[in-house]
Structure 1
Amino acid sequence: MSYEVVLEDKYYLRELIESISLKDSLDQISYEASIQLKVPSEGLSIAPGQEIRISGVPYSGQSKVHLLNPGVIWECNSSNKSTKHINLMVYDRTIYLVKSEDEFLFPANGTASQRLKKYAKEWDIQLGNVPDTKKQLNKATYRAQAIYNMIMADLRETVKGGGDMYIPRMTPAGLELFKIGSNSLVWKLEATEEVSQLRTLEGAITKVKVIGRRDETKKPSEDLPSKFLAVASSELIPKLGTLQRIIQDEDITTTTAAKKLANSMLTGIQETFSVSGLDINTLRAGDKVELSGMGLIVMSVTHELGDPGHMSLELGTSEYVKRRYFLNG
């Protein structure tokens, strides 16, 4: 097998590998691996918390690269029939941002990039490439919650303010912010086994009303019907009917911002693609690919590593990704 699993930076387990799968999704921060190993007669000492990495030769490449590094063993599950096996559940180290809670108070006008650096400093996380997300954010009071939720709240507010879409990624260089669709190598999906297309009105929005931040100085007896900062209607209403959403967003404080958000939420028939085929083992969620001349974003990917390997992808347009993962959050 053209893949290598290294435990604690010194134990090479290639000869014990039975299968490796990698899963990545825009719904999750941590790259996830499932590794099944056969246990030699002399035994195998592996425990949760140990460091592990996975390397492999990229599709059409020559030399190995890190596919998941740094990784941490999260769970060990062993079985014994005629031969003893052990299955390892592994995550990259952003799992600690998912499983850990804290509180942070941020003043207005900082950016998602600046806040990420604050989280990293507090948790002693090494940072890699963290581009300037540029959009200034509102004041935030984050009470006890997962740090990952705070990061994503910052990144969603960035998009709602007209900024670019970013997701956090752990790399050998450290925690980075990756701009969705910015990968320099855009793969054309040609060696496909099956391509299915889903078109549905589920999730379509043809009219939007936006409520901004409520006035908390009013007494309950003074409550009035909601005041809408903006209303947007789609030209598709005569064809698709009225499918209305009411959005209340504490980050929206001006009519201009409300109109921008309302218009960005309008959408017609929802279209996604599911693709299976030969594995391109370096593809990650958030990468851009090309399918039949269309530029699409990988929303989720499962790699079954092998020679050859196999992969399953869920794809959507950039606008669909924006609405699904950033504007609806």
Structure 2
Amino acid sequence: MSYKVILQDKYDLSALVEAINLRDSLEQVAYQGTVNMVATPDMPPINPGMSIRISGIPYGKKDYVPLLHPGVVWEVESSNNGTKRITLTVYDRTIYLDKSEDEYLFPAKQTASQRFKKYAADWNLKIAKLPDTGKKLGRSVYRTQSIYASMFADLRETAKAGGKLYHPRMISSGLELYELGSNKDVYILEHVTDTTQSRTLEGAATQVKVLATAASESGKEVPSKVMAIEKKDTDKFGLLQAIIQDDEVKSKAAATELAKSKLRGIQQTISLNGPDINTIRAGDAVMFGSLKLLVISVSRELGNPGSMSLELGTYDDVKRRFYLE
């Protein structure tokens, strides 16, 4: 197997490995791995909390690079059915952002980048790459919730304000705020099998109305103030209206921008299986035929050859599904 599994930076477990599966998704922050191994009497004891690294040779290359690193052993399960085997569940270290809770009170006019520095410092995570997200956010009060939930709330607000889409990602040099689709190597997916394409009007909105928060006057209920109405493709798909009430939208221009971003017609996702390209991560752009799509999730079985299952979507569909709902 052209993959290496290194425990605590000194124990090479590669010869004991029977299978490695990895999963990455925009629906979770941490890259997840499952390692199945044969246990031997001379192997080191493996316990949750230990550091671990999974490396492999990228598609078309010759040298090993870290795939899941820095990683942590999260679960250890052993079985004995004549031969003793061990199954490890491992994550990259962004798992600590997902499994830790805290409260945060942020003033207005900070960017997601500025807040990202605070989260990383509080949880002792080195920052590898931090672009300027640009959009100034409103005052935020995050009561007891996971660090990742607070972080992603900032990224959603950035997207709602017309900013780019970002996802936290752990790489060998530390934590980065990754701009979706910004990968330099955009792979063309060929030799794929089991392709499924789904197209639906479920969740479509051809007219969007943004309302100010309703208020009563002298004890009487009054209609909500309409801040913006935008429509598109009502003649093609019919009138499907969505209503948005958002306290963070203060101006007509912001309301109009938000309404436009919520307009959506046919939503399309593509699922496919194919030979593994082991450096493709969730959020990367890939080419499928003439379509440039984003990877929503990837599940892979490492090997020679390995295999991967991808869920793909357009940039606009990913934005609506994960950042604007």
- Cross-structure match for 2:121: 121
The answer to whether 1:154 aligns with 2:154 is yes
The answer to whether 1:36 aligns with 2:36 is yes
Residues in 2 aligned to 1:253 and 1:311: alpha-carbon distance in whole angstroms: 45
Residues in 1 aligned to 2:170 and 2:218: alpha-carbon distance in whole angstroms: 46
TM-score by length of 1: 0.95
Partners of 1:191 and 1:277 within 8 A in 2? yes
Please give the per-residue CA displacement for 1:64-97, whole angstroms capped at 9, x wherever unaligned: 0000000111111111102111111111111111
Partner SS for 1:188: coil
Read off the aligned partner of 1:247 and give its amino acid letter.
I
Partners of 2:213 and 2:224 within 8 A in 1? no
- Cross-structure match for 1:24: 24
Residues in 1 aligned to 2:285 and 2:236: alpha-carbon distance in whole angstroms: 31
Task: Structure 2: give runs of 5+ residues left out of the alignment.
Answer: none
1:1-329 equivalence runs, <5 A: 1-42=1-42, 44-213=44-213, 221-234=219-232, 236-328=233-325
Task: Structure 1: give runs of 5+ residues left out of the alignment.
Answer: none
Read off the aligned partner of 1:303 and give its amino acid letter.
R
Read off the aligned partner of 2:307 and give its amino acid letter.
H
RMSD value over aligned CA atoms?
Answer: 1.4
Partners of 2:26 and 2:297 within 8 A in 1? yes
Residues in 2 aligned to 1:146 and 1:303: alpha-carbon distance in whole angstroms: 27
TM-score by length of 2: 0.97
Residues in 1 aligned to 2:302 and 2:217: alpha-carbon distance in whole angstroms: 60
Residues in 1 aligned to 2:271 and 2:212: alpha-carbon distance in whole angstroms: 36
Residues in 1 aligned to 2:91 and 2:268: alpha-carbon distance in whole angstroms: 31
Residues in 2 aligned to 1:267 and 1:220: alpha-carbon distance in whole angstroms: 39
Which 10-residue stretch deviates more, 31-40 or 198-207?
Answer: 198-207
Read off the aligned partner of 2:260 and give its amino acid letter.
N
Would the alpha carbon gap of residues 124 and 42 (structure 1) be closer, same or farther in structure 2, given more than 3 Å must change? closer
Residues in 2 aligned to 1:170 and 1:138: alpha-carbon distance in whole angstroms: 27
Q: How far off is 1:40 after superposition?
A: 1.0
Residues in 1 aligned to 2:31 and 2:221: alpha-carbon distance in whole angstroms: 46
Please give the per-residue CA displacement for 1:213-261, whole angstroms capped at 9, x wherever unaligned: 566xx67934422222111122x22332222211122221111111111
Read off the aligned partner of 1:228 and give its amino acid letter.
V
Residues in 1 aligned to 2:155 and 2:128: alpha-carbon distance in whole angstroms: 17
Partners of 1:36 and 1:88 within 8 A in 2? yes
Partners of 1:265 and 1:327 within 8 A in 2? yes
Partners of 1:21 and 1:305 within 8 A in 2? yes
Q: How far off is 1:287 after superposition?
A: 0.2
Partners of 1:289 and 1:296 within 8 A in 2? yes
Read off the aligned partner of 1:226 and give its amino acid letter.
S
Partner SS for 1:128: strand
Residues in 2 aligned to 1:67 and 1:59: alpha-carbon distance in whole angstroms: 12
Partner SS for 2:127: coil
